[in-house]
Chains A and B, each alone.
Chain A
């Protein structure tokens, strides 16, 4: 019974004997045995766990883990920057996969002090950053092979888009809007994840004379004259749809309004720098460079 429940360890112990048993006990868990009670903090990290097919090991995720939809059915430990130690420990995790920005630092320190294995995943808004995330998550789960396969797929998908965009001469201006519930929507400036995706899709962010997400005055928006307006699906809904966005007085005269180019995407896909980043880039590139991307 015991052997059939844990075939790997049983055979090993029988085969190699005592020395093998001691080594198994001392060495880090073998690949097939990897951690089985994983708490994943960060939308992109959770997406990668699912993409690796390791979702059956998840016991909880954070509130930014909104994709795939099944992730939202898992217990939610709260916003990734406002975690609490005890509820996480109560889940009896054997691995915490934590995106770089998670916190508060005191709670991360408390979790470290309990000796629960914690793997911190860096968050770089580049395609190499995505591949690095995939490899680290895969290694932590003992799924290196699946990780390489997934990383290869992402690389290929990304290279395909890059190849099509090779040698573009004009980079359309893209305005990224984010609605924060009432008040003026925020626009993405330089040094944002949105600007990075826009860059990868062969565009340039506008306005770009500030960094971060800022509320921008209607007149500044009118001056920005975007060729394309990029929004998250939630913002699209909050602002009343593509029609409503393009007929706003501050955007009505923009090239985007003339050509009707509004692109809406799931926020996590667009800004999360997870496995769906090549899809996000391709979707945006289609709107920016239809001639290059046609027949995809």
Chain B
């Protein structure tokens, strides 16, 4: 009697202990998510508020209210209005979209490949886009298929977007047969395609003149500058849509962490998941690259940062990446456009400069823990 009572008490105590741990963890997760949301808002405000042209908060509010048809609050200057409304705001929003697209695609890719080194570039989308962009930059007007009628500033993003999608389609096709897609084959095909596209870019570099070479170099380092409202609104659905849809893949991606066979036994349509991850990433990253050029390391590093703070559960990992990616990209862009005033750094320099060392640290830390 006393014995069994004691035993059940012990079990109860254990249960409450486990439940309390879980509650604590959930509370911590919620806190982290709230922190990331706050960080994103702070980064957005900083991005809109800071820059070469001084725009105090009151003037900034005044510009916004004037633009929204509520009338000016104070007498801001026309330059302040143009800078805030036509330069900073679309640029900051582009930063949010691109950061979100790169980070969530990276997270989904790492889940799909079950490989911490995976990033959206792995399936060829960045290199395919880069090759198409290089073709446009170097060969310029001499383009086939009557594409010459498209103005040059539109041709470049269109070509980059198309190039990215074609590359992904190729990689996917190579890795698929009999309705199954081999993830390992896809990874290797991606590496091979990246090498071939890299060689083709090399040929283009060889035949390009000094000026095209510099243009190409800058494109390969990425920039959020030069975006207009028109272009932003045109491409926004292509980035935001896939990024948000990826959120719905959290459960299948969680199941895939156990391996494909186990995921299948858990009732997950594994092939469908692969198709969706690849398609959504290709769309989101392809449209990002088309507008900004290649921005490295965001897709690789952000998911790792989230895993370190919150853990590997995709139901939290994906929304967290969706918020942390934009924050980091906005901060990098803020540095890019204020560090060397009145000039501007390519943003890829900053993301790689921070991302590279961070990734090395991650590697060393993992080695120390004996995980690999």
> Per-residue CB proximity of A54-96 to B under 8 Å, as 1/0?
0000001001000000000001111101111111111110000
**Residue B152 contacts which of A90, A105, A107 (CB distance < 8 angstroms)?**
A105
Q: Are A86 and B218 in contact (CB under 8 A)?
A: no
Q: Does B274 contact A (CB under 8 A)?
A: no
Question: Are B79 and A89 neighbours in the complex by a CB distance under 8 Å?
Answer: yes
Q: Given the known inter-chain contacts A85-B87, A215-B206, please indicate yes or no for A78 contacting B344, CB distance below 8 A.
A: yes
Flag if B343 contacts A84 (CB, 8 Å).
yes
Interface residues of B in 319-339 (CB under 8 A from A): 337
Q: Is B211 an interface residue (CB 8 A)?
A: yes
With an 8 A cutoff between CB atoms, is B8 at the interface? no
A209 CA to B273 CA in the complex, in Å? 55
A85 and B152 contact, CB distance less than 8 A: no
Could you tell me if A89 and B225 are in contact, using CB atoms closer than 8 angstroms? Answer: no
Q: Are B344 and A110 in contact (CB under 8 A)?
A: no
* Contact of B342 with A77 in the complex, beta carbons under 8 Å: yes
Known A106-B153, A106-B227, A110-B226: A81·B215 in contact at CB below 8 Å: yes
- Distance from B341 Cβ to chain A, minimum over Cβ atoms (Å): 5
| B226 touching A106, Cβ below 8 Å | yes
Q: Give bound CA distance, A92 to B344, whole Å.
A: 17
A186 CA / B206 CA spacing, docked (Å): 10
User: Which residues on A sit within 8 Å (CB–CB) of B341?
Assistant: 75, 87, 90
Interface centre among B153, B206, B226 (most CB of A within 10 A): B226
Please tell me which one of the listed residues A60, A86, A103, A213 contacts residue B88 in the complex, with CB atoms under 8 A apart.
A86
**A77 closest partner in B (C-beta):** B342
Tell me the smallest distance from the CB of B273 to a CB of chain A, in Å.
Answer: 38
Q: Is B52's CB under 8 angstroms from A212's CB? A: no
**Does the CB pair B153–A114 fall under 8 Å?**
no
A81-B211, A104-B226, A212-B209 known; A88+B342 contact, CB < 8 A = yes
Judging by beta carbons under 8 Å apart, are A90 and B343 in contact?
A: no
Contact in complex: B343, A87 (CB < 8 Å):
yes
Q: Does A14 contact B (CB under 8 A)?
A: no
B75 at the interface (CB under 8 A from A): no
Bound-state CA distance A178–B153 (Å) is 30
- Which chain A residues lie closer than 8 Å to B228 at the CB level? 106, 109-110
Contact B153 A105 (CB under 8 A): yes
Which residues of chain A in 200-258 are interfacial with respect to chain B, using CB atoms and an 8 Å cutoff? Answer: 212-215
Chain A's closest residue to B52 (CB) is: A90
* B 179-221 contacts with A by CB, 8 A: 206-211, 214-215, 218
| Interchain nearest-CB distance for B180 vs A (Å) | 44
Collect the chain A residues with CB atoms within 8 Å of residue B53's CB: 86, 89-90
List, in ascending order, chain A residues with CB within 8 A of B207's CB: 214
Asked if A33 CB lies within 8 Å of chain B CBs, one says no
Is A89 within 8 A of B82, CB to CB? yes
Question: Contact between A75 and B209 (Cβ–Cβ < 8 Å)?
Answer: no
- Chain B 79-112, CB-CB to A under 8 Å as 1, else 0, gives 1001100111000000000000000000000000
Q: Which of A147-190 contact B (CB under 8 A)?
A: 178, 186
B342-A90 in contact (CB<8A): yes
Which residues of A are found within 8 Å of B54, using beta-carbon distances? 90
B331 to chain A: closest CB distance in Å?
A: 17
**A128 contacts the other chain (Cβ, under 8 Å)?**
no
Q: Collect the chain B residues with CB atoms within 8 Å of residue A92's CB.
A: 79
The answer to whether the Cβ of A113 comes within 8 Å of any Cβ in the partner chain is yes
Task: Name the contact of B82 in the complex, choosing from A77, A82, A114 (C-beta under 8 A).
Answer: A114
Q: Given A75-B342, A78-B344, A106-B226, do A86 and B210 touch, yes or no (CB 8 Å)? A: no
Given A85-B225, A86-B53, 17 extra CB contacts under 8 A: A76-B343, A78-B342, A82-B346, A85-B87, A86-B83, A86-B337, A87-B337, A89-B53, A89-B82, A89-B83, A90-B341, A91-B342, A105-B153, A106-B225, A106-B228, A186-B210, A212-B209
Q: Which 6 A-B pairs have the closest CB atoms?
A: A78-B343, A106-B226, A90-B52, A87-B342, A84-B344, A87-B52
Q: Can you name 5 A-B residue pairings with CB atoms under 8 Å?
A: A82-B344, A85-B225, A86-B87, A90-B51, A101-B211
